A and B are shown apart, each in its own frame.
Chain A
Amino acid sequence: GQNIDQPTEMTATEGAIVQINCTYQTSGFNGLFWYQQHAGEAPTFLSYNVLDGLEEKGRFSSFLSRSKGYSYLLLKELQMKDSASYLCAVSENTGFQKLVFGTGTRLLVSP
């Protein structure tokens, strides 16, 4: 089974940098996803990590350490529109693409 842990809520200021952590325990790991979900909307894909290291995509980067069961999402040059929930999801090694989601981190960006 999976156990995924991420902070419930974070606050930050426009223009700043914020790091959202995710730790997981798994019996079979097949990659980690980050999704963004604005209030009342569907989650949308941000990043995927399966190997250790940092993946950069514009203002957003995601890091993975498989040995530590740890990932983070780094958001730079924060904008008001980045206020959303950020969901960490681990892909189980079942032969099918089965994701287990954390409860999400609600990020509030203030002016």
Chain B
Amino acid sequence: DVKVTQSSRYLVKRTGEKVFLECVQDMDHENMFWYRQDPGLGLRLIYFSYDVKMKEKGDIPEGYSVSREKKERFSLILESASTNQTSMYLCASSWAGSSYEQYFGPGTRLTVT
């Protein structure tokens, strides 16, 4: 079974802190994705990566950066957390190619106070 894991299920941080969210997949997938999910807005793509050290901006990259040093690991970084970044963050991975489904991790509920 494909497994996508995220470092924390719940996280509480203060405004201005640097926050790291980690995601690991065990299926040797080329593609990895970071989304945030908010009520009424659905899943929105922040960044994705199609190979090690490669990254592409999604629809809402402002305030975020990413790192992919190894194929199995994709990190999301909030350089200076703000209250409007309080959200559910979901990581996903997939094989390369448009017809392959994405496998999602369990999510990290981040609260910025």
Q: Is chain B found bound to chain A in the same assembly? A: yes
Tell me the A residues contacting B by CB distance below 8 Å: 30-31, 33, 41-45, 48, 50, 87, 89, 91, 93, 96-104
Give how many B residues have a beta carbon under 8 Å from the other chain's beta carbons. 28
Question: Inside 8 A of B40's CB, which chain A residues have their CB?
Answer: 103
Determine the residue in chain A with the shortest Cβ distance to B42.
Answer: A103
- A contact face: mostly helix, strand, loop, or mixed: strand
Question: Inside 8 A of A87's CB, which chain B residues have their CB?
Answer: 42-43
Do residues A42 and B42 form an inter-chain contact, with CB atoms below 8 A? Answer: no
Which of B61-69, B70-78, B99-107 contacts the other chain? B99-107
Tell me the B residues contacting A by CB distance below 8 Å: 4, 31, 35, 40-45, 48, 50, 56, 58-59, 90, 94, 96-107
Determine the residue in chain B with the shortest Cβ distance to A103.
Answer: B42
Do residues B45 and A99 form an inter-chain contact, with CB atoms below 8 A? Answer: yes
Do residues B56 and A42 form an inter-chain contact, with CB atoms below 8 A? Answer: no
Do residues B90 and A98 form an inter-chain contact, with CB atoms below 8 A? Answer: no
Q: A96-B31, A96-B50, A97-B31 are in contact. Are A104 and B42 (CB under 8 A)?
A: yes
